[in-house]
Amino acid sequence: MEMDAFLLDDENNSLVKRITTLESGLATARDSVLRLGGDSDNRKEMERRSWWQTWTASLGRACSQFFTS
């Protein structure tokens, strides 16, 4: 019975660490997308393409930066 409680605490700690890591990663990706959106080259690109194409491209770049770091 005590061993089961210990494993549950371990699993909870692991889950908390994973959630914290995910939150940090999402914040980094959000900041990258916002930074890309403020870039003048990206604003010029937005004039040529639809907003959806532009932001999916920006999100793709931000995600690739996040996953390669």
Residue range 1-45, pLDDT digits in tens: 455 556 677 777 888 888 888 888 888 888 877 777 677 776 676
For residues 34 and 51, give the distance between their C-alpha atoms in angstroms, rounded to a whole number: 14
Single-letter residue type at 47: E
The model's pLDDT over 48-69, given as tens digits with 9 standing for 90+, comes to: 777 777 778 777 877 776 666 5
User: How far apart (Å, rounded) are the C-alpha atoms in residues 36 and 42?
Assistant: 7
pTM of the shown model: 0.46
Retrieve residue 13's tokens. Answer: 């700690």
Tell me the one-letter amino acid at 48: R
